[in-house]
Amino acid sequence: MTEVRCSACPLRPLPLFLRNDDDEVAIVQSLKRREMQMGPGETLIHEGQTNAPLYTLREGWAFRYKTLSDGRRQILTFLLAGDFIGVQQKMGDAAAHGVMTLTDSLFCVFQRDSLWELHRQSPAMGFNITWLTAHEESLVDDTLLSVGRRSAEERIATLLILLFKRAAALQDDGGAAGVPFPLTQQHIADGLGLSLVHTNKTLRKLERRGLHHIEDGRLWLRDVKALVRLADLYGDGRPPQRPLV
């Protein structure tokens, strides 16, 4: 595999990501150690792991999760290209959650002390890491709101909108031809605290109402405004412009 230099990263030109100057890109390049490919269903970080490096997901989908002793799983957040992974572990002794791939994925791997080096060499980029961590926390908060207060229809509508908008921001067509949607109904159920049967029934109900369509691993939103009203979202679900490490 031929590695891509940070200055030529295909994510950097996308409007979703803030621009870095040449010095900032050079700092990121100096901290990057390698690129790593993984297939679907592979574990990137194990729960309780103490030696994981930091990663940026450059291609593919993954998710963060926690499990109970009997194997029941709660998916915390879904990860898409541009997401920075592993910061929470650096704040404690071990990883409080695991990370698993959903699809074929490509990760940029950074040395374990990258957080401190970024803060030392570039306070602005250190602030960006703080922003990314706060943004991820807000996504978890929204998941908690869904699980705790939203109905099944509202939960699924929220998930579909947020994931569609995030994936669409990574495409030149803005999602006009649909977006990849590698989630199974079990992933949706594990992310929203629903049973598999309830998830299946609710997805079919929303599709019959003409709100969305899922086929061959792709998602289309048929009536975005109706989905936003149903989800009771603040705003339209479009992701904010964000830093890229």
Write down the domain spans for the chain.
6-132, 143-231
Q: Place 106 in a pLDDT band, splitting at 50, 70 and 90.
A: very high
CATH superfamily of this structure's domain 6-132: Jelly Rolls (2.60.120.10)
Res. 47: pLDDT tops 60: yes
Res. 122: pLDDT tops 60: yes
Question: Mean per-residue pLDDT for 29-57?
Answer: 92
Question: Mean per-residue pLDDT for 72-79?
Answer: 92
Q: Name the range with the highest mean pLDDT among 6-15, 89-98, 106-115, 133-142.
A: 6-15
Is CATH 1.10.10.10 the right assignment for the domain spanning 143-231? yes
Res. 2: pLDDT tops 60: yes
Which CA distances in Å does 193 have to 148, 188, 202? 9, 8, 13
The model scores a pTM over 0.85: yes
Q: pLDDT at position 89, please? A: 63
Instruction: Look at 121 and 59; give whichever has higher pLDDT.
Output: 59
136-140 long-range contacts, Cβ below 8 Å, gap at least 24? 136/77, 136/83, 136/87, 139/77, 140/76, 140/77
Three-state SS for 181? coil
Give the integer Cα–Cα distance in Å for 170 and 160. Answer: 16
Question: Mean per-residue pLDDT for 42-66?
Answer: 92
**Contact yes or no for 203/213 (Cβ under 8 A):** no
Strand 32-38 relative to strand 62-67, pairing: unpaired
Q: pLDDT at position 92, please? A: 58
What confidence tens digit (pLDDT) does each residue in 210-221 have?
Answer: 999 999 999 999
Share of the chain above pLDDT 70, in %: 96
Q: Place 180 in a pLDDT band, splitting at 50, 70 and 90.
A: very high
Bridge partner residues of 38 (DSSP): 105
Helix and strand counts by DSSP (H, E) for the chain: 8, 11
Q: Place 91 in a pLDDT band, splitting at 50, 70 and 90.
A: low
